[in-house]
Chain A
Amino acid sequence: MLSSEKIARLQSFLFGATGLICMLYALLVVFTGQPDPMPWWLPGSVGLLSAVLIFGKFHRADPVSVQQATDELFKRNAAIAHRFGFWSALLLYPFFGFLIATGVISLTLAFPIMGTLTAAAYLLSFAILSEWPSAG
């Protein structure tokens, strides 16, 4: 039977891995100047695969382990990550609006960067908080 530690660790690992792929995608767009520096479907597919794996692990674990893995520290970390992801997503608009208006970056490049950074902000902050709660 899966322990609460194992399913919580798997979740933070998968969130972190998906977040890193999103971040990598954004960085590659910046450095290569291409809107699709890797297959465009890769970040979304990794996210979907992670969701399926997490759901599967939680489904197979016993209810007590799930309760322990989603306790109030988990909810506090999720709330902080939601807040960080929300404000990051909002702040990307004026930031990239400025960059587009001043001609630093094109709309074609800004779109994939903003999309992947929005996902990365939530996923990475959740993974970091799960492993190092004092970061919150």
Chain B
Amino acid sequence: MPGELQNNLKKYRTAADLTQAALADQVRVSRKTINTIENGVFVPSTVLALRLAQHLKVSVHDLFELRL
């Protein structure tokens, strides 16, 4: 049964004291991409999810999880 994707990107980004623009520059995407991911509008690719996790020093499962 498919679950709903939930993300904690904003939580970990603010914990790392990064703005959306700063995180976007680090992972080389636009600020709007970070914003749409945080708002659940856009689901990133696996590669981008891994890059976000790497830069925030957390696991992908910390950032994204399926709410069943």
B-contacting residues of A (Cβ < 8 Å)? 4-5, 8, 64, 67-69, 71-74, 76, 133-134
Seed contacts A68-B29, A68-B30, A133-B41; 7 additional CB < 8 Å A-B pairs: A4-B31, A5-B30, A8-B30, A69-B30, A73-B30, A73-B42, A134-B36
Given the complex of chains A and B, what is the CA–CA distance between A71 and B25 in angstroms?
Answer: 12
Residues of B within 8 A of A (CB): 24-25, 28-33, 36, 39, 41-42, 44-45, 48
Question: Which single residue of chain B is at the shortest CB-CB distance from A135?
Answer: B41
Closest Cβ of chain A to B32, distance in Å, is 6
A85 vs chain B, min Cβ distance (A): 21
CB distance from B37 to the nearest CB of A (A): 8
B32 / chain A contacts, CB cutoff of 8 Å: 5, 8, 73, 133
B-chain residues with CB within 8 Å of residue A76 when the two chains form the complex: 42
Q: In the bound complex, do residue A73 and residue B29 qualify as a contact, i.e. CB atoms below 8 Å apart?
A: yes
Cα–Cα, bound, A64→B30 (Å): 10
**Considering the chains assembled together, what is the distance between the CA atoms of A4 and B32 in angstroms?**
10
CB-CB under 8 A for A68 and B24, given A73-B32, A133-B36: yes
